[in-house]
Chains A and B, each alone.
Chain A
Amino acid sequence: MPGTSTPTGTRATRMLGVVTLAFTVWLVVFGLVVSAEDVVQGSTVRMMYVHVPSIWVAYVAFALTAVVSAVYLSGKNRSLAWDRVAGASAEIGVLFVAISLITGSLWGRLTWGTYWVWDARLTSTAFLFITYIGYLAVRGLGGSFRQRARRSAVLALLAVLEIPLVHFSVVIWRSLHQESTVANSGTDVELDGLMLFTLFLGIVTFTMLFAWMVLHRQRALALQDAVDSHGLDLAIKQRQQEAEVR
């Protein structure tokens, strides 16, 4: 948890964790209490402050996975640290897509009257989720660390091409899901100042949360890789420790 001592933590991550926790509390208070209700949607607009930042973080996570995979494949720096950042980022991205799908489904039940429709945005987002589940499955296949890094990097560069498809699906196809409101100069929708601020606060908070999680998770993967590479030595050490306990 943010702020506690862990083998993957440093002073910087602890500071980031504390600030992120404070921002999360701030977001919850503003999202659930302080921000105004929408003229049309009423209080259900409060779901926007977790739904939109979740898919934002998923996009960032998958983009980061692609960038570090490209760095690894380019051959300029073949450090496995890039691969671990890619794996950590994709895993966190999958979590945030799942959150976005579920919170969107709950929001859809209140505004559209149904949990799910086979709409372009919803279907393409579900496809994105399944693609990255596949990416994580490929990372779990056997072979050396180098083999894992190379095959998953290639897949990451292909999978990231889905993001524009998901994002622009509401423009390309007729969709029940609304188009972008804030990042779209073509709409006449105006967001109340406090609502806009809370949405921005959500995006900043979730981005910091993502940064904190990636830092810890990629170090956790480094520990796992170290254990896997030490193999037999560690198994013997573990058995010795177990024998001492008995």
Chain B
Amino acid sequence: MEHASFIIGSYVLTFGSIGLYVAWFLRRSRSIDKFLDDKDKPWT
């Protein structure tokens, strides 16, 4: 594949940045979850 570094790099950047963002807010949710009751989570 010609220009493979640019092409694969754009996929890595796309899914990598999404993954990092998701990991950041899920980790944050887990860290504050222990201080909350189930009534604070009406979706459960």
Partners in one complex: yes
Residues on A facing B (Cβ under 8 Å): 1, 6-8, 10, 24, 28, 31-32, 42-44, 46-47, 50-51, 54, 92, 95, 98-99, 102-103, 106-107, 109-110, 209, 213, 216-217, 219-220, 222-224, 226-227, 230, 234, 237-238, 241
* Chain B interface, number of residues (Cβ within 8 angstroms): 33
* CB-based contact B25/A106 at 8 Å: no
The 3 closest A-B pairs by CB, nearest first: A7-B33, A226-B40, A220-B29
* CB-based contact B26/A216 at 8 Å: yes
Q: CA–CA, A10 to B30, complex, Å? A: 14
* CB-based contact A47/B6 at 8 Å: yes
Q: CA–CA, A10 to B44, complex, Å? A: 7
Measured CB to CB, the nearest residue on chain A to B41 is: A7
With A6-B29, A209-B18, A220-B25 in contact, is A103–B36 under 8 Å at CB? no
* CB-based contact B18/A95 at 8 Å: yes
- Which of A8, A32, A224, A230 gathers the greatest number of chain B CB atoms within 10 Å? A8
The majority secondary structure among interface residues of chain A is helix
With A95-B17, A209-B18, A227-B35 in contact, is A216–B7 under 8 Å at CB? no
- Which of B21, B28, B29 gathers the greatest number of chain A CB atoms within 10 Å? B29
Kindly list chain A residues whose C-beta atoms are within 8 Å of the C-beta of B10: 47, 50-51, 102-103, 106-107
Expressed in whole angstroms, the minimum distance between the Cβ of A170 and any Cβ of chain B is: 21
Kindly list chain A residues whose C-beta atoms are within 8 Å of the C-beta of B19: 1
